[in-house]
Amino acid sequence: MELHKELYSSSEELFDLPSSTKLKNKSPKPFHGYIGQYSFIPLYESIGIDDAMNIENAESLANMMWPEKGNANFCKIISSFSQQVSELDQMVRRMVLESLGVEKYYDEHIESTNYLLRVMKYKGPDTSDAKLGLQPHTDKSIVSILCQNQVNGLEVQSKDGTWIEVKISPNSFIVMIGDSFLAWTNGRLHSPLHRVMMTGDKARYSTGLFSIPKDGYMVKAPEELVDEEHPLLFKPFDFVEFTKFNNTAEDHGCKSALKSYCGV
Ligand SMILES: O=C(O)CCC(=O)C(=O)O
Ligand SMILES: [Fe+2]
């Protein structure tokens, strides 16, 4: 897809900006999103745009990063990508709800979510042994849709604990279930633990579109999915409160965050 190529060249342009430009814009919070760098994983950099379907949010990021005249092309690509990938997200969610016989909740499901877009860069470590690019975690989202340039690195843990390298063909997408959908379906879906491991000298660029519950919306399994055979697994929770809890958890992003936060 042409869109993939355009997206990676835009990401390169963004991450190639001098780090002084990026860091200068980190604080006070200048746009609806964030700039992520962790001292414990030096290969990783990310930039997130909240509510990415609203082009003004991409524009405010672009105005920060390219103060001279913004970057109309960047905004166009981000917004077109978010639009198209959100259609895929909605298709997946419709299929899941239909397969569970609860499609009557589809409209409510879609109306109660926002889309967070995250562009990421992982530097090549210049080594043949694998270095950590992103720590193991489960996504807190409803659904996460990821795509990457030709450099692999994503690994997903199978239920028996083995890490499986994700090798996808060019221009395809990875669809992953997040903890919020696991909770909403009362455990019918699995949100896998995943991480990024990097080798070699090539940079990896990836982009994720994450559907997340809107502020104030309570994630609650519908009554049709709770019965004697499937007792309620998680108490209803507010997504923002859950992410706050997760961000301060000792084992940040850990698999058990959902259970410790609202497990019954
Ligand atoms: O870069 C990737 O492929 C994975 C990113 C990821 O897991 C995340 O942003 O939650
Ligand atoms: Fe993730």
Which residue, chain included where needed, has tokens 């019965």?
A: 227
Kindly tell me the sign of the dihedral angle through the C-alpha atoms of 168, 252, 43, 161: negative
Q: What is the pTM of this model?
A: 0.94
Q: Which of 245, 170, 131, 263 is nearest to 254 (CA)?
A: 245
Ligand index nearest the alpha carbon of residue 166? 1
- CB atoms inside a 10 Å sphere around CB 44: 20
Q: Identify the three-state secondary structure at position 74.
A: helix
Tokens standing for residue 175? 């669809």
For the ranges 63-72, 126-135, 238-247, the one whose mean pLDDT is highest: 126-135
- State whether the beta carbon of 134 lies less than 6 angstroms from ligand 1: yes
Quote ipTM for the complex: 0.99
For domain 1-262, give the fold.
Answer: Jelly Rolls (2.60.120)
**Residues 116-145: tens digit of each pLDDT:** 999 999 999 999 999 999 999 999 999 999
How many angstroms separate the alpha carbon of residue 229 from the centre of ligand 2? 31
- State whether the beta carbon of 194 lies less than 6 angstroms from ligand 1: yes
**Separation between Cα atoms, residue 114 and residue 127, nearest integer Å:** 39
How many angstroms separate the alpha carbon of residue 153 from the centre of ligand 2? 12
How many angstroms separate the alpha carbon of residue 193 from the centre of ligand 2? 8
**Separation between Cα atoms, residue 172 and residue 184, nearest integer Å:** 27
On the question of pLDDT at 160 being above 90, the answer is yes
Ligand index nearest the alpha carbon of residue 153? 1
**Residues 217-242: tens digit of each pLDDT:** 999 999 999 999 999 999 999 999 99
Q: Which of 234, 187, 177 is nearest to 210 (CA)?
A: 177
**All structural domains of the chain with their residue ranges:** 1-262
Going by pLDDT thresholds of 50, 70 and 90, the confidence category of residue 73 is very high
Cα dist from 45 to 4, 108, 117, 163, whole Å: 19, 34, 14, 23
CA geometry: angle 252, 256, 262, nearest 5 deg = 105
